[in-house]
Amino acid sequence: MTAAAPDVPALLVEGVSFAYGTQPALDSVSFTIPSGEIFGLLGPNGGGKTTLFRLLTTLLPLSSGRIAVCGIDVKSAPAAARRCFGVTFQSPSLDVRLSVRENLTHQGHLYGLRGTPLQARIDAVVGWLGLSERLTQTADQLSGGLKRRVEIAKSLLHAPRVLILDEPSTGLDPGARLDLWQVLDRVRRQEGVTILVTTHLMDEAERCDRLGILDRGRLVALGTPDELRNSISGESLIITTRDAEGLAAQIRERFALEPQRLGDQLRLESSQGLDLLRDLVTAFSGRIETISLTKSTLEDVFIDRTGHRFWDAP
C-alpha cells in the first residue's frame, strides 16, 4: 500500500452527523489526523465514539458529511478505503482453537495474501509485536494482553496506512495496558502507521499525540493533552457541601466567581488555587464538608466543556 501524499491527511472527518431514527448520535463532527500521529477519541459510553468508529470503518452508511482515508472517500469508494485501514475491534475475533500462525494465515487469505509473501509478512509483523515465540501456541493459551497483540497483528497484515482500534485495552490489567501502548508506539515507528484509538480511559488519552473529546455526539474539545489542560486555569477546587446551591450563591457574591454545580459538589478553577482554598475555608468553614485542590486534568477539561462529570448520565 503506497503512502498518501504529504499534504493529504491520513484521516479526514468533515461535518459528520448521524441519527438512529429520531435519536441523534453525532452532531457535525469535524477533525483531521495527519500521517504518523496517534490520535485519541475520548468520551464516555454513549458519547458517540462507537457510532463514529462504525462510520469510519464503513460498518454504517455515511448519511451526512464526509470521511476520507488517505484521500479516499469512504462513501464513494468504500472498498478502496478499506484497503487503506486496519481495524482492531473491541470484541475478540480470534479462533481460540487455532494457533497464532493459523489465525494470521486465515486473516491474510481474506486480503488475497498467499504462500511465501504471506508467511514473510506474518513473520515481520509478529516480530514487531513480540509474538515470534508464540506462533505455534493456540490462542486459548495466551494471556489477554498477548491476545490483543495478535488482534493488532491481524489488522496489520495487509500493510494499512491507518490503524483504527476500538477500546483496545478493554479487559486488560494495568500492566498489559502499558505494554499495549508500547506496542502501538513501536508499530507507529516501524510501519509509519497513523493510529486512531477510541477510549474512555483518561490515562490512555494522555498517551495520544492529540485528542478529540466527544460528548453527546458533539466534538467539545480538540488538541494535544497539554493544550487541553492549559486551556483552563491551572488548578481545580472541588467542594462538597450539604447546600450546593446556597454556597454557590455566596461564593458568587463574595468572590465574584461562578462555581460549576456537580450534584452535591461545586467546582472552581483558579490560577491561585491555594490562596482561594484558604479564603474559602476561612469564609465558609461551617458550610464546607470537604475541599480538594488538584492540578487541572483532562477530566477537568471535560467538565469545563460539558458542564457535567465524565461518567454522569446526560
Q: What cell does 93 get? A: 475475533
**Is residue 21 predicted with pLDDT exceeding 50?**
yes
The pLDDT mean for the chain works out to 91
Model-level pTM? 0.85
Task: Identify the burial level of 232 via C-beta atoms within 10 angstroms of its C-beta, where 0-12 means exposed, 13-18 middle and 19 or more buried.
Answer: middle
117-125 contacts at long range (C-beta below 8 A, 24 or more positions apart): 118/157, 121/157, 121/159, 122/153, 122/157, 125/153, 125/156, 125/157
Residue 64 half-sphere exposure, CB side, CA atoms within 13 Å?
Answer: 14
CA 124, 86, 138 angle in degrees (round to 5)?
Answer: 55
The model's pLDDT over 58-96, given as tens digits with 9 standing for 90+, comes to 999 999 999 999 999 999 999 999 999 999 998 888 999
Q: What cell does 151 get? A: 488482534
pLDDT band at 5 (very low <50, low <70, confident <90, very high): low
Predicted local distance difference test score (pLDDT) of residue 133: 95
The model's pLDDT over 150-206, given as tens digits with 9 standing for 90+, comes to 999 999 999 999 999 999 888 788 888 888 899 899 889 888 999 999 999 998 999
Alpha carbon of residue 203 to chain centroid:
10
Predicted local distance difference test score (pLDDT) of residue 175: 87
**Around Cβ 147, how many Cβ atoms within 10 Å?**
22
Q: What is the mean pLDDT of residues 18-42?
A: 96
Q: What is the mean pLDDT of residues 138-144?
A: 95
172-180 contacts at long range (C-beta below 8 A, 24 or more positions apart): 172/144, 172/145, 172/148, 173/144, 173/145, 175/145, 176/143, 176/144, 176/145, 176/148, 177/201, 177/203, 177/204, 179/145, 180/145, 180/148, 180/149
Predicted local distance difference test score (pLDDT) of residue 2: 46
Q: Tell me which DSSP letter residue 132 carries.
A: G
The span from the CA of 27 to the CA of 64, in Å, is 10
**Is residue 57 predicted with pLDDT exceeding 50?**
yes
pLDDT band at 6 (very low <50, low <70, confident <90, very high): low
Q: Where are the beta strands (DSSP E) in 10-56?
A: 11-20, 23-33, 38-42
Predicted local distance difference test score (pLDDT) of residue 283: 92
Residue type, 248: A
The model's pLDDT over 212-257, given as tens digits with 9 standing for 90+, comes to 999 999 999 999 999 999 888 778 899 999 999 999 999 999 999 9
- Percent of the chain whose predicted confidence (pLDDT) is above 90: 74
Predicted local distance difference test score (pLDDT) of residue 218: 96
**Is residue 1 predicted with pLDDT exceeding 70?**
no
